Amino acid sequence: MLVEVLLGIFIVAFIIDVYVVWNLMKKIERLEDWVENYTNKIHGAYGEMKLLDDRGIFEADDEVGDVFSKIKNVTEQLNNEGVLEENAS
């Protein structure tokens, strides 16, 4: 009798564990997709910033140049972090 009760408890615990692992795996896959899309957007923004400032037009204007250079620095930092992470894996 005790063996059947323990077996039932272990089966229920196993089913719960399988569900928890499956649920966490689905969440991790969604997170990985989100990170990949976000990384692609950062690389795209960095490429656009490089194209826009190909001739240094925006850096010549004081007000626009200041904002543009700050945005460009942020995208460069994000791009460099993404490149370093991709090379590490």
Q: What are the domain boundaries of the chain?
A: 23-88
CA-to-CA separations, 11 to 1, 4, 5, in angstroms, rounded: 16, 10, 10
Question: Under 8 Å CB-to-CB from 39, ≥6 apart: which residues?
Answer: 82
Q: What CA–CA distance (Å, rounded) separates 61 from 68?
A: 9
Q: Is the pLDDT of residue 76 over 70?
A: yes
What letter does residue 55 receive in the DSSP assignment? T
**pTM for the full model?**
0.57
**Residue 50: per-residue pLDDT:** 73
Q: What CA–CA distance (Å, rounded) separates 73 from 36?
A: 21
19-72 pLDDT, tens digit per residue, is: 999 999 999 999 999 988 888 887 787 777 777 767 666 665 666 667 777 777
Q: Tokens representing 84?
A: 């370093």
13-32 pLDDT, tens digit per residue, is: 999 999 999 999 999 999 99
